[in-house]
Amino acid sequence: MIDNKPEPPDTTTRSLSSSASLAGLSNAVLPPPRLNVGVFSKRKGVRYHRDGQVSSCRFCEILRARAEPFLYEDEHVVVFRPLRPIVPSHVLIVPRAHIRNVNRLAGRHRSLLARMHRVADIVMAQPTTPDSDDAEAKPQESSAIHNETAVDRDDTSVRYSFHVPPFNSIDHVHMHAFHDDPRSLGYYGRLKYRTESWWCRSYDQVMARLEQLAMAEQQCDVVEGSSGSSSGPLLSEERQTA
């Protein structure tokens, strides 16, 4: 009697082909995984080593790889458009230095914050649209940044804002700037970027906080200096009486 049972599959061949496929994948150059960003994202676009140092950051990668068209750049800050702009004029002013969020800004960052504001003024003054040629605007922006009077500022028509943790979308501090037109913003935009709230701060509010921090630091330095100078004569008197 002839046995018509099917032969078992050749698992050796299959395992060899699977191993070859895995080897090919391991040898291929794969792009780094996209870091999730957003208010409800656990990592907020940043990964950290066990010692707390930054392992990878979505914004740092954009600045390094120029993954987005830059509207402006210099050695301190870069300007590009957000993934989902609230209005056509919406831009992000991002420092090259990795600072986790607006609450990590200290008194020593006042000059950086002021520069971010000046750069935002310049970009907002340019008739730049998402479809325009950004390369033509860069020379004007680069020359104007060194002259604060080069831009006719109108702070009432431009909104500058920072989202406060945990309402920030990414753990790399950045300032939002856009033309403040309530009709274009809509209800959601007016709510999300409402600076008179506990989830969003205006540029003036952030700068006022940094000024207070700087003043407190100066007072501490004065106290430490005065205590050090007062201890000098006391020690000399003790040496004389000894």
Is 223 part of a structural domain of the chain?
no
Q: Which domain holds residue 70?
A: 46-216
Residue 220 pLDDT: 86
- Domain count of the chain? 1
Q: Give the pLDDT score at 129.
A: 58
Q: What is the pLDDT of residue 96?
A: 98
CATH number reported for the structural domain that contains residue 67 in this entry: 3.30.428.10
Q: What pLDDT does 235 receive? A: 38
For every residue of 90-139, DSSP letters joined together read -EEEEESS----GGG--GGGHHHHHHHHHHHHHHHHS---TTS-HHHHHH
**The predicted structure's pLDDT at residue 168:** 94
pLDDT at 184: 87
Please report the pLDDT score of residue 3 as a whole number.
56
Q: 15 vs 20, 23, 24, 26, 229, CA distance in Å? A: 9, 12, 14, 16, 79
Q: Does some domain include residue 68?
A: yes
For the chain, 242 residues long, the average pLDDT of each consecutive 10-residue run is 56 48 43 50 80 93 94 98 95 98 97 98 81 44 50 66 95 97 89 94 98 93 68 42 38
End-to-end CA distance of the chain: 119
Identify whether 177 is part of a domain. yes
pLDDT at 128: 52
